[in-house]
Amino acid sequence: MKQSRLFTKTRKEVPADETSHNAQLLIRAGYVHKEMAGVYAYLPLGIRVLEKIKEITRQEMNAVGGQELIMTALQRKEIWERTNRWDDSMVDVWFKSELKAGGEVGFGWSHEEPIGEMMKNYISSYKDLPVYVYQFQTKLRNELRAKSGIMRGREFVMKDMYSFCVGEEDHTAFYNATMDAYMRVYARLGIAEDTFITFASGGAFTQFSHEFQTITDAGEDVVYFNREKNIAINEEVLNDETLTKLGITRDELQMAKTAEVGNIFNFGRQKAEDIGLTFKDESGENIPIWMGSYGIGITRLMGVVVEKFSDDKGIVWPESIAPYQVHLVELSGDNEEIKDFANGLYNTFNDNGVHVLYDDRDVRAGEKFNDSDLLGMPYRIVVSKKTKEEGKFEVVERANGTVHYLTEEELHHKFLGANS
């Protein structure tokens, strides 16, 4: 992508109404646009990051047998009335509207009920099970107070997966496999070190659910954890009973502010019973399906990554989700030879599938460098008369500022792979 044609704009100053680090940086760097409190648009750079996070998540969900689908944003009132979750006194984040033709609809804040309802059409026998489906869906929640930039909005993208099994044994196997898959997602984003599988409230179904909590001051949760024993407990369920059950004492735990980047639930057979979703077993008896629910906040993850990986100059993207791998910066001035060479390098990268952002703009070096730092691509390659004369190219690692001077051949080797 040529930066001269890239739709976005960086800015020096942060909007006065943003206090969260992630939103300040993402707006300054031109990744997102704030539409209203808790509602952000994703610009071309931002959507590339989101898509990369989604693709990593997609690969890991597919690897455990998940199949992607997409539910609807508009939801029927009746489905939620059946489980007594339509009323605002039961669920306080509903956005609701009316159909011109008559009748009420809700905007999906969760898809548990609708997906369970849909499954009645497709599951009738133990032979149809198990089923694991997931989606990336924009959730709409009428939060009383949005905060923390893109980390807690009224509109956000979530990956939610649902499992439908004949019984506990199958469910547990999938539940555990998903837990591992989640950790692989976080590992690929570079935040696994600070992400804990955390005991949290299980709601109405089980004693505990598992949250995936990542240490960051921007988080809203408080978790007590022990790295050696690999145990973490959400403050909300920290009590003597929990400690005894997990075989750990209070003084073995340290506290941290965290952001919830995932949450997985075991519904047992209760949820299916509530919505009337059953299968026939081998004897022909109707049995409620054993269900589970698994969520990862995609947009929140993007915010958490920015919170964790940035410096005073801007964002520092992990390679796995950077919008572009390489930021190619030409400092040609009016030197046509340098310009031509940079163009050639850009084309070579493109032809070889390297994701490259090419700063071909006719602006001063300082502006290019500052923008480059702010945008945060993992590698910056500078093509200028200064180094070209020596047959070298300056390669800067954004994460640590390390500068390498590589020949053209070394450059190709590093970025185009060994076979080039």
Partner RNA sequence: CGGGGUGUAGCAUAGUGGUAGUGUACUCGGUUUGGGACCGAGUGGUCCGGGUUCGAUUCCCGGCUCCCCGACCA
Question: Which residues of the shown chain bind RNA in the complex (CB under 7 A)?
Answer: 9-20, 28, 36-38, 92, 110, 112, 143-148, 152, 201, 203-205, 220, 263, 265, 267, 271, 293, 313, 331, 333-334, 364-367, 369-374, 382, 384-387, 394, 396
User: Residue 145 CB, nearest distance to RNA (Å)?
Assistant: 4
In 227-376 the beta strands, taken as DSSP E runs, fall at 231-234, 254-268, 278-280, 286-288, 290-297, 310-311, 314-315, 326-331, 356-359
Question: Whose Cβ is closer to RNA: residue 56's or residue 119's?
Answer: 119
- Lookup: tokens for 371: 């923008």
User: Residue 102 CB, nearest distance to RNA (Å)?
Assistant: 27
Question: Whose Cβ is closer to RNA: residue 40's or residue 324's?
Answer: 40
Question: Whose Cβ is closer to RNA: residue 102's or residue 366's?
Answer: 366
Closest CA to 163 of 92, 251, 321, 269: 269
User: Residue 404 CB, nearest distance to RNA (Å)?
Assistant: 12
Closest CA to 201 of 241, 168, 162: 241
Cα dihedral 194, 199, 204, 206 sign: positive
**Backbone φ and ψ of 117, nearest 5°:** -65, -45
User: Residue 114 CB, nearest distance to RNA (Å)?
Assistant: 13
Distances (CA, A) of 253 to 223, 227, 235, 407: 9, 9, 11, 51
Residue 347 region by backbone torsions, left for phi larger than 0, else alpha for psi between -120 and 50, else beta: alpha
**Backbone φ and ψ of 44, nearest 5°:** -50, -45
For the beta carbon of residue 120, count every other beta carbon within 10 angstroms: 14
> Which residues, 6 or more positions from 298, have their beta carbon under 8 angstroms from its beta carbon?
50, 53, 54, 57, 136, 156, 157, 158, 159
Question: Whose Cβ is closer to RNA: residue 56's or residue 317's?
Answer: 317
User: Residue 182 CB, nearest distance to RNA (Å)?
Assistant: 16
User: Residue 412 CB, nearest distance to RNA (Å)?
Assistant: 19
User: Residue 323 CB, nearest distance to RNA (Å)?
Assistant: 17
Question: Whose Cβ is closer to RNA: residue 34's or residue 54's?
Answer: 34
User: Residue 20 CB, nearest distance to RNA (Å)?
Assistant: 6
Q: Are strands 155-165 and 290-297 parallel, antiparallel or unpaired?
A: antiparallel
- Lookup: tokens for 305: 């990554």
Question: Whose Cβ is closer to RNA: residue 202's or residue 318's?
Answer: 202
Question: Whose Cβ is closer to RNA: residue 204's or residue 255's?
Answer: 204
User: Residue 419 CB, nearest distance to RNA (Å)?
Assistant: 29
> Degrees (nearest 5) of the Cα angle 304, 309, 314?
110
Question: Whose Cβ is closer to RNA: residue 14's or residue 399's?
Answer: 14
Rounded to whole angstroms, the maximal C-alpha distance in the chain is 82
Beta bridge partners of 134: 68, 161
Sheet holding 74-76: strands in order across?
A: 74-76, 104-107, 95-98
Question: Whose Cβ is closer to RNA: residue 60's or residue 330's?
Answer: 330
Question: Whose Cβ is closer to RNA: residue 6's or residue 331's?
Answer: 331
User: Residue 53 CB, nearest distance to RNA (Å)?
Assistant: 21
Start-to-end CA distance of the chain, whole Å, equals 22
Cβ atoms of 130 and 167 within 8 Å: the answer is no
